[in-house]
Structure 1
Amino acid sequence: MRVLITGATGLIGQEIVKLCLANDIAVNYLTTSKSKINQSEKTQGFYWNPKQQEIDLDCFKDVDAIIHLAGATISKRWTSTYKKEIISSRKETTQLLVHSLKTIDHTVKQVISASAIGVYPDSLINYYDETFKNFDDSFLSHVVQVWEDEVDAFSKLNITVSKIRIGLVLSNKGGVLMEMAKPIKFGLGAAFGTGEQWQSWIHITDLGQLFLYVLKYRLEGVYNGVAPSHVTNQEFTKTIAMTLEKPFFLPNIPRFFMKLILGDMHTLLFDSQRVSSKKIEDKGFYFEYHHLQPALENLLK
């Protein structure tokens, strides 16, 4: 089997590439940097420029499935200009792939696209599964809805479409966990706001395995990429401190303060989304890291 991966050099992409190669799945990857193009027996790089709608069509040769992760990071201050970049990067990359496949004979049977649990509204009481449709007009929800709508275009090409709505990805190679751990290591850990907001998370290893599971069994539709257990922000921060054997006694950080520092992006820390993993579990997927404490011990010790 051969897969084409966009966003292969990102945090999630690197994990998926590693797992593909360990499972004897050859990898083609797209990059906007010609210096990152390498060729080997199992990995082949190809150039693309989504803004200019340019792509090396050889990237699709003998490809059975596309794993689509590319999109501008949301972990950067959301100026009005950058908000447009977040949306356009997802639209342009997806449209380029769809348009390109329309123009050639290809062997692609499935597309597995990253998505995000940010599509679900902020709520302390709701428990969201993939059937939920009453989305709100928040920025992140809008981003995900646009993204998923673009990905649905692959289905018109008789390609199976799968979407994985990803929660907070825990990794020791970057991302949210490393940022949360920094102040805690200096004894300055504190929850955000009331600390009651739900945070649905997933260990990077489980997320990579989930993508491969959807690929292996050609599962169609939307799946939540979150661990079975959920924690409040207070529990999350406290468990990091306990794992690092650091004190946790400071007062919670007020919302207005983080809004001053981060602007609109502060909602990433304060929005509450309790999200179900039951659908993918019912398909037979097993999470190695069900609960937060073992996941943090694996990553932080």
Structure 2
Amino acid sequence: MAKIIITGGTGLVGKRLSKLLIDKNHEVVILSRSPKNENEFKWDISSNYVDEKALVNSDYIIHLAGAGIADKRWTEERKQIIIDSRVKTANLLFDKITELKIELKGFISASGVGYYGAITNDKIYEESDKAANDFLGDVCLKWENAAQQFSTKNIPVTILRTGVVLTDKGGALDKMKTPIITPLGSGKQFLPWIHLDDLCAIYVKAVEDDLEGVFNAVAPEHHTSKTFTKELAKSIKRPYIGIGVPSFILKLVFGDMAKILLEGSKISAKKIEKNGYSFRFETLKKALNNL
């Protein structure tokens, strides 16, 4: 049994992951800005505060905290919030772990497939590829660098570059369930995805099997916006129209953030599979039928 601290533990992934870890007899501690339950402890990056009681005797930190990439338009202020909510929180944890001389068995951090940039082409991106020279690439690179500093304390670091997480409540899938299902823009952009249960199982594997390094946390089946929405329409029995929502409308509504809707890459899942993970939901059809 391990003591595991989760940041962002009250979010979609954090709630499900906490339950899975507790079911496996691990002790889970949540760092929260507004603690409500007995296993939740306060932290606040604006005042560089973490309740030290949460950190004592901890074995692993799973760092999921971060302002939603697609929650609001990307103003310059919002862009800085997106970066700070990931980087400053990791820095705060590093400083406190160092100060309290806590010998973690591992630091496990979320990242995003946005690391490879908002690009649509035939290349299948792997973990060894470089970060893109755009906002999302910059966010992910800074995020991952903040996580990698734990390795200077001989703490193993694991990073999961995650695609769109499919869940039965909330998240991207809810927003896609419109009365008439359509692709976005050209519909040719790829949409890397993963079922919530597979993502959480990979986090559990990172803890229990001492998984170390950078891994793409995406399902092995590639889909474009067009093939994804077609499969979704079939699954929820709603009408599908293959003409995409025009790009100029999305740019008008979402501004610069429209890039993440209009562009997307094929991402390889081979490394995590070679490291012993077998996907429960390897096809979109199977994932949607479950959800």
Establish whether TM, by shorter chain, passes 0.5.
Answer: yes
Matching of residue 80 in structure 1 with residue 76 in structure 2: yes
Matching of residue 70 in structure 1 with residue 62 in structure 2: no
**Preserved contact between residue 170 and residue 203 of structure 1 (Cα < 8 Å):** yes
1:95 aligned to 76, 91, 95, which one? 91
Matching of residue 223 in structure 1 with residue 215 in structure 2: yes
Q: How many pairs does the alignment contain? A: 288
Task: Please tell me the residue identity of whatever aligns with 1:46.
Answer: F
Task: Please tell me the residue identity of whatever aligns with 1:271.
Answer: E
- In the alignment, the residues of structure 1 paired with residue 48 and residue 18 of structure 2 have an alpha-carbon distance, to the nearest angstrom, of 25
Matching of residue 268 in structure 1 with residue 256 in structure 2: no
Q: 1:83-130, CA deviations, whole angstroms, 9 ceiling, x for partnerless residues?
A: 110011111100100000111132411000000000113132110111
- In the alignment, the residues of structure 1 paired with residue 241 and residue 96 of structure 2 have an alpha-carbon distance, to the nearest angstrom, of 55
- In the alignment, the residues of structure 2 paired with residue 210 and residue 265 of structure 1 have an alpha-carbon distance, to the nearest angstrom, of 28
**Preserved contact between residue 124 and residue 196 of structure 1 (Cα < 8 Å):** no
**Preserved contact between residue 112 and residue 162 of structure 1 (Cα < 8 Å):** yes
Gaps of 5+ in 2: none
- In the alignment, the residues of structure 2 paired with residue 215 and residue 123 of structure 1 have an alpha-carbon distance, to the nearest angstrom, of 33
Instruction: Name the SS of the counterpart of 1:112 in structure 2.
Output: strand
Identity of aligned residues (%): 38
Q: CA deviation at 1:250?
A: 5.4
Q: 1:168-200, CA deviations, whole angstroms, 9 ceiling, x for partnerless residues?
A: 10001111011011x1xx2x2211111111111
CA RMSD of aligned residues (A): 1.0
Task: Please tell me the residue identity of whatever aligns with 2:53.
Answer: D
Tell me the residue number matched to 1:171: 167
- Calculate the TM-score normalised by the size of structure 1: 0.93
Tell me the residue number matched to 1:286: 278
**Preserved contact between residue 289 and residue 295 of structure 1 (Cα < 8 Å):** yes
- Calculate the TM-score normalised by the size of structure 2: 0.96
1:129 aligned to 126, 129, 132, which one? 126
Matching of residue 162 in structure 1 with residue 124 in structure 2: no
- In the alignment, the residues of structure 2 paired with residue 228 and residue 287 of structure 1 have an alpha-carbon distance, to the nearest angstrom, of 8
Matching of residue 193 in structure 1 with residue 181 in structure 2: no
Tell me the residue number matched to 1:60: 55
Gaps of 5+ in 1: none
Q: CA deviation at 1:210?
A: 0.6
- In the alignment, the residues of structure 2 paired with residue 290 and residue 268 of structure 1 have an alpha-carbon distance, to the nearest angstrom, of 23
Tell me the residue number matched to 2:11: 10
4+ runs deviating over 2 angstroms = none
**Preserved contact between residue 51 and residue 92 of structure 1 (Cα < 8 Å):** no
- In the alignment, the residues of structure 1 paired with residue 6 and residue 193 of structure 2 have an alpha-carbon distance, to the nearest angstrom, of 23
Tell me the residue number matched to 2:199: 207
**Preserved contact between residue 103 and residue 155 of structure 2 (Cα < 8 Å):** no
**Preserved contact between residue 127 and residue 216 of structure 2 (Cα < 8 Å):** yes
Q: CA deviation at 1:251?
A: 2.1
Task: Please tell me the residue identity of whatever aligns with 1:249.
Answer: I
**Preserved contact between residue 73 and residue 257 of structure 2 (Cα < 8 Å):** yes
Tell me the residue number matched to 2:30: 29
- In the alignment, the residues of structure 2 paired with residue 65 and residue 10 of structure 1 have an alpha-carbon distance, to the nearest angstrom, of 19
- In the alignment, the residues of structure 1 paired with residue 115 and residue 233 of structure 2 have an alpha-carbon distance, to the nearest angstrom, of 29
- In the alignment, the residues of structure 1 paired with residue 42 and residue 132 of structure 2 have an alpha-carbon distance, to the nearest angstrom, of 37
**Preserved contact between residue 184 and residue 247 of structure 2 (Cα < 8 Å):** yes
Q: 1:36-65, CA deviations, whole angstroms, 9 ceiling, x for partnerless residues?
A: 2x22xxxx2111101211111111122111
**Preserved contact between residue 226 and residue 242 of structure 2 (Cα < 8 Å):** no
